[in-house]
Amino acid sequence: MRVISDAERRARLGRRHALAAEHRAQTVVDAARAVVALHGTDPATTVLSALARTRKAAPADVERALYDDRSLVRVLSMRRTVFAVPREVAPVCLAGASDIVATEQRRLLVKALAEAGIAGDLDDWVNRAEQSALAAIDAAGEVTSTELSQADPLLATRVQLGSGKFVATPTVASRLLTLLSAEGSVVRTRPRGTWTSTQFRWATMASWCDLGERPDAATAATELARLWFEAYGPATLDDLQWWTGWTKTRTRAAVAPLETVEVALDGRPGLVLAGDVEPVEAPDPWVALLPALDPSAMGWKHRDFVLGPHRERLFDVNGNAGPTVWVDGRIVGGWAQRDDGDVVFTLLQDIGTESTAAVQQAAADLTTTLGDVRLKARARGWTLVEKDLRA
């Protein structure tokens, strides 16, 4: 059985995730393809992850791809997470993973309506509210959640989520946007403010861009598994299941049509695509400062081969990666932006003089790139390293 060491997995990551200098992507869309999907719940992550993988891109290039060319499309998909994906990958994500999210979001909305005392056929109620929302968005072109809630009394209905100090009472409009996003009926468009803003406007997907015909769920799942193994393999079925949010049954069914080879990873069995068994040489030495929730930090359930013993200081309590410092495929420290704009870092292991100097230069370059923009901990908590550095 072919043995693929942790060192070789890190070499593959440097090359395939477009992080090693000689393997950087030409465009921000190519950067997204390199990791299948750029994390997008925090819009800053989308931009900074793309810039870390391209040669000369700027935030404006990412905005152009998202809002002008629309060659990157935001979808609510794997693990109920927003991702920015190449347009041709969007139908695969929507058919292969978002359907699970949509089913759960519909169930939760019906449950919330029942708890709010709404009587009658609640499935029909949701269907009517959906049609009203889509008609309002289509008529307006683009709307905010607040504007949508004013379009119909159904959409202004409030439901309660959570309890105690964590209770929230959003409108049905805001919950429907989540559901419609998972169904691929609506899409987040250009937000108000800077490229870090989460104040999105919404449009119907049909008016925003043509995604073509959506594949059936089984075909889409297999294609999504293939794309993931190309970028993240070799890996385990556990890793793929975690990344997609699938069940074990769906994971096995998605992988079954693929030609794969069993390999031995350090400490556990894994799989690699049949055409991807040959050894991969390490690229030239490289460093990178990757943002919180970056795909390379969040790509596997079992990530010790890149993370080592640093999980407690670099991930929040819910398992979300904070900003990380990388050297040759290893996470060796963390970074943060202080309130004055300076990007500062902490190294959690010795990386040598040359690599330390390269990290210092990367931090200075990132400070310049961010300029007046200030990063926040969105969709996650501050990590211990960030708290220390910002203090």
- DSSP code string of 208-265: H----PPPPHHHHHHHHHHHHHHHH-SB-HHHHHHHHT--HHHHHHHHTTS-EEEEEE
pLDDT at 272: 98
pLDDT at 167: 78
Cis ω on the peptide bond leading into residue 234 (within 30° of 0)? yes
pLDDT at 165: 72
Question: pLDDT by residue (tens digit) across 313-326?
Answer: 999 999 999 999 99
Whole-angstrom Cα distance, residue 278 to residue 317? 38
Virtual torsion, Cα 305, 32, 317, 358, nearest 10 deg: 60
Spatial contact of 86 and 74, defined as CB atoms under 8 Å apart:
no
Whole-angstrom Cα distance, residue 240 to residue 322? 21
Whole-angstrom Cα distance, residue 235 to residue 52? 24
Q: Give me Rg for the CA atoms of the chain.
A: 21
Whether residue 225 is contained in a domain is answered as no
Whether residue 84 is contained in a domain is answered as yes
Whole-angstrom Cα distance, residue 209 to residue 184? 11
Whole-angstrom Cα distance, residue 275 to residue 285? 26
β-strands 330-337, 324-327 pairing: antiparallel
Whether residue 251 is contained in a domain is answered as no
The helix (H) or strand (E) run that includes residue 182 is helix 172-182
Whether residue 232 is contained in a domain is answered as no
DSSP state of 190: P
Range of the domain at 375: 40-212+284-391
pLDDT at 184: 97
365: Cβ contacts below 8 Å, ≥ 6 apart? none
How many CB atoms are located within 10 Å of the residue 299 CB?
Answer: 21
Whether residue 267 is contained in a domain is answered as no
Query: Position 122: which residue type?
Result: L
pLDDT tens digit at each of 391 positions of the chain: 899 999 999 999 999 999 999 999 999 999 999 999 999 999 999 999 999 999 999 999 999 999 999 999 999 999 999 999 999 999 999 999 999 999 999 999 999 999 999 999 999 999 999 999 999 999 999 999 999 999 999 999 999 877 777 778 889 999 999 999 999 999 999 999 899 999 999 999 999 999 999 999 999 999 999 999 999 999 999 999 999 999 999 999 999 999 999 999 987 899 999 999 999 999 999 999 999 999 999 999 999 999 999 999 999 999 999 999 999 999 999 999 999 999 999 999 999 999 999 999 999 999 999 999 999 999 899 999 999 999 9
Whether residue 27 is contained in a domain is answered as no
CA angle 266, 268, 273 (to 5 degrees): 90
**In total, how many domains does the chain have?**
1
pLDDT at 106: 96
pLDDT at 16: 98
pLDDT at 360: 98
Whether residue 364 is contained in a domain is answered as yes
pLDDT at 77: 97
Q: Which residue has the tokens 């080592």?
A: 308
Whether residue 51 is contained in a domain is answered as yes
Whole-angstrom Cα distance, residue 38 to residue 35? 7
pLDDT at 224: 98
Q: Which of 60, 59, 68, 61 is nearest to 29 (CA)?
A: 61
